[in-house]
Amino acid sequence: MDFRDLEYFIACCKAGSFTAAAREVHIVQSAMSHSIARLEQDLGAPLFDRSATPIVLTDQGTAMQGAAQRILDAIQAARDEVAAVSGQVRGTVTLGSTLHTGRLDLACVLADIREHHPGVVVKLRQSKAGSEGLVHAVGDGSLDIALTGSPNKPPRGITLHPLFSEPMVFVCLPEHPLSQHSSVTVGELQDEMILRPPPGWGTRTAIDAAFGATRSAFEIADYALMARLVRAGFATTLAPESAIRGEMLAGLCAVPVDDSRLRWTLSAAVCTDRQRTAATIVLLDALTQRSRLPAGAR
């Protein structure tokens, strides 16, 4: 069994077609089809149902997917350990991130990696799918690390490394009756029309836990737009302290909320069921170290 065939098989699992997978790994489609056919012949079982579009895994293919990924992870780990003997860390790590990372400056993290570990390539994927979607992507192997604001207990096989936590604030106009309060309670906000992020976002989960879930919320996936809507008198909102500040806060008031449920914690989610590569460990360490520095520190 050629490990290249396993790499191409995993590429097909992710891409959903031989053509797209071939493009991803920079080979021609006929070579991809031949590789999968060779692997199926070696295993004596079909791995894909080719009659479906996109192609889908057979039961045998589903069983093979996890085994193939473990083999490839072990090969990569062996390469990393050999390189580490020479004082080198290399490899590719895929990092998923929420659109807002608070005081964690991703640009500085990536610069740190390039300066200290030039052999490490970081693929950054920012997502509007929310924290829950990012955690799921770590579980299925699409991401190596995800920056998530999910307050929920992670599913089996995922661990969260908290990076920092901050309170959420009530954002309103200066003429709002609560704008001059030193803090507000959930009870005082019960009659407010509060803009909420979409389901799956960590802040949405926290808001729903405090105020109750609703299907009638105005769902906004952009803190800048939220601020503009509040400024226009459309509604009020709740957001992490760092999300609406500076110029975005102009003409608005941010009042602390006295409720432990309304905190935003940024964590790094990683899978415990897969062996971490040296590149993943280096990136996780860089995220942890950078999150401990004050905002704007270099």
| Every domain of the chain and the residues it spans | 3-82, 89-163+265-291, 165-264
- State pLDDT tens for residues 53-97: 888 999 999 999 989 988 988 887 788 778 777 777 888 899 999
Burial per residue of 109-141, b for 16 or more beta-carbon CB atoms within 10 angstroms, e otherwise: bbebbeeebeebebeeeebeebbbbbbbbbbeb
- State pLDDT tens for residues 96-121: 999 899 999 999 999 999 999 998 99
d(CA 52, CA 266): 40
CATH topology of domain 165-264: D-Maltodextrin-Binding Protein; domain 2 (3.40.190)
Domain 3-82 has CATH 1.10.238.10: no
Coil, strand or helix at 125: strand
pTM for the structure as a whole: 0.74
196 has which bridge partners? Answer: 219
On average, the pLDDT of the chain sits at: 91
- State pLDDT tens for residues 191-224: 999 999 999 899 999 999 999 988 877 899 899 9
Coil, strand or helix at 81: helix
CATH fold match for the domains 89-163+265-291 and 165-264: yes
CATH topology of domain 89-163+265-291: D-Maltodextrin-Binding Protein; domain 2 (3.40.190)
Say what the pLDDT of residue 76 is: 79
